[in-house]
Chain A
Amino acid sequence: MNPLLSIKNLVKVYGKKTRALNSISIDFYPGEFIVVIGPSGAGKSTFIRCINRLVNPSEGEIIFDQNHIEKLSGRKLRKECSKIGMIFQHYNLIGRTNVIKNVLHGQLSNTPLFKSLFGLYRHEDKQEAVELLKKVGLQDEIYKRADELSGGQMQRVGICRALLQRPKLLLADEPIASLDPLSATIVMQQLHTISQEKNLTCVVNLHQVDYAKKYATRVVGIKKGSVVFDGPPSQLTDAIIRDIYEGKESQMELKNTNGMQSEIEGECSIQWAGGSNDE
């Protein structure tokens, strides 16, 4: 199978000396649900943002769907970006705009300016927007202003917006880091279910190792700008996790590290994971 996204020797240097990414090479295949874990400052966010050029990489190649993303600019770049959906930690909705318009922003790249100005989105886009909102349980909030929603609801609008792009690849940068434990579970669950349904390839940055183990088909561990682990969650042992988070153990977000892991399931662990992550 050909990879959907192929990254070769990706380097990002901030300023003159700060190497956020240290020559990362990795291939992502269609249908994978990849969770990227690592301590904060490891380069997770920079990595995921290089894929759709929210951050411009310093060196390396990003081949998405046979296109060299790193070489594109202007209209061509926007066209490729529209095939990549993105979900953000802080939702990044337009607060004073209502929910359905926020979701329809996902189709802006396929709508001429004057049509979007007058709200003349295609009927099937509007229909899909409503269906997506129903699917995430927001059918009663369609005309509410986005800033009237709770964090969990906002993130679900964010998911709908990304999905309305009908993307080939879905990126999520810490989608549940700002949410309370219950909302985090719901959002993560919906993200997982919908991407499975649509057979979407997902790359998700997470703090929470337990969520990574639960949902991922493949886990990538990043430490100091380099990939230090790449494999199925079953191979992710406590020793490896400890190595990834070396020196930043407080961020491990593990239920506990002394072998009692399997005994405490569900709520308790989720609360611990979410609670300590209110940034």
Chain B
Amino acid sequence: MMSDQAIHKIPIDKRDPKKIFAVVAIIFAMLIFAVIYLKISFIEMFMGLPSFVLFFFEKFFPPSTANLKQYIPEVINTLGYAVISTYISTIIAFIFGILISKNTNKFITLRVITRGFVNVLRNIPFIIWGALLVYIFGVGGIVGILALILVTIGFLSKSYAEAIDEISEESLEALRANGASYLQILFHGIIPQFVPAWIHWTLFAFEINVRSSVVLGLVGAGGIGVLIDTNINLFKYGEAITIVAVVVAIVLLTELITNLIRKRFVN
């Protein structure tokens, strides 16, 4: 009996169970509130499912492959946007990355300003950049490229800066000790050690940009997305589904290739 009691007096968790319960309850309450506020009916959603599936198979199938050849230029356009925007962003983002990392920029003010600017770029979704830029430049490829560049700079600058931060101060110390200049430390000390992260993040940005440049077409900023939009508006569902399939193929192929490059170069 004594030992039984002693065992019960050893708690294995010191946290207050009421606190955990409260947190879980709050999260659940948020869901309930959202559902009630938006008057979302799960029953309706569920009941609508059969007609959705029916519509899908009736209208979208069979896919029409008649105009497959006509998509090729748009596919190349889309990939072209991704290539150009990734290319330009990586150069600008590298400069920003250097300005943001405390390893390469000792001036706090400049660091904070650059980081703030980059955060603005990153936190505005590219679709909004696209919609804004369409008003300025009108419908066309340049809008898509610009929107992608702006967001990619935001994304890459931060990733690059973090990678540069991770380069150990120690290895750079040696170069500083033997009298190398700032630029020499940058080119001989930082860049060689930054290369794996640079390849990794740039390929990642390219993947995102391929996917994004598809969506950009939907706001009239060029690329294959335009075709999806036009065909659905013209009730040519068969063709639309083919284009969607082409898009999926492009994205998968891009990921396959970038993964191969990564395996080959990053280690």
Contact = CB atoms under 8 A, between A and B. Distances in A.
B183 interface: yes
Interface stretch (B65-73, B97-105, B188-196): B188-196
Contact of B174 (A80, A82, A86, A113): A86
A218 interface: no
Given A92-B173, A116-B187, A161-B174, A97 B179 contact: no
B179 A88 contact: no
A135 to B, nearest CB: 19
A161 B193 contact: no
A84 B177 CA distance: 8
Contacts of A162: 178
A93 B181 contact: no
B171 A93 contact: yes
Interface string B168-188: 001101111111110110011
B192 A165 contact: no
Contacts of B189: 94
A78 B179 CA distance: 4
B180 A109 contact: yes
B184 A97 contact: no
A213 interface: no
A54 B173 contact: yes
From B173, B175, B180, B195, residue with most partner A Cβ within 10 Å: B180
Contacts of B177: 52, 54, 81, 84, 86
A96 B187 contact: no
Interface string A71-85: 000000011111011
Given A94-B188, A113-B181, A165-B178, A88 B170 contact: yes
Contacts of A92: 170-171, 173-174
Interface residues of B, number: 20
Contact of A86 (B178, B181, B184): B178
A108 interface: yes
Interface string B126-147: 0000000000000000000000
B196 to A, nearest CB: 8
A41 interface: no
Given A96-B195, A165-B178, A108 B170 contact: no
Contacts of A113: 181, 183-184, 187
A90 interface: yes
B181 A95 contact: no
A96 to B, nearest CB: 5
Contacts of B171: 92-95
Given A81-B179, A113-B181, A113-B187, A88 B192 contact: no
A162 B175 CA distance: 10
B193 A108 contact: no
Among B170, B179, B187, B193, find the residue whose CB has the most chain A CB atoms closer than 10 A: B179
A264 interface: no
Nearest to B184: A108
A224 interface: no
Contacts of B176: 54, 81
Contacts of A88: 170, 173-174
Contacts of B196: 96
Contacts of A105: 174-175, 178, 180, 188
B174 to A, nearest CB: 4
Interface pairs A-B: 5 shortest CB-CB: A109-B179, A82-B179, A92-B174, A108-B180, A78-B179
Interface of A: 52, 54, 78-82, 84-86, 88, 90, 92-97, 101, 105-106, 108-109, 113, 116-117, 158, 161-162, 165
28 contacts: A54-B173, A54-B176, A78-B179, A78-B181, A80-B179, A82-B179, A84-B177, A88-B170, A92-B171, A92-B174, A94-B192, A96-B192, A96-B195, A97-B188, A97-B192, A105-B174, A108-B178, A108-B179, A108-B184, A109-B179, A113-B181, A113-B187, A116-B184, A116-B187, A116-B188, A117-B187, A161-B178, A165-B178
Given A81-B176, A94-B189, 17 more contacts: A52-B177, A54-B177, A80-B179, A81-B177, A81-B179, A82-B178, A84-B177, A88-B173, A92-B170, A94-B175, A94-B192, A97-B188, A97-B192, A105-B174, A108-B184, A113-B183, A117-B187
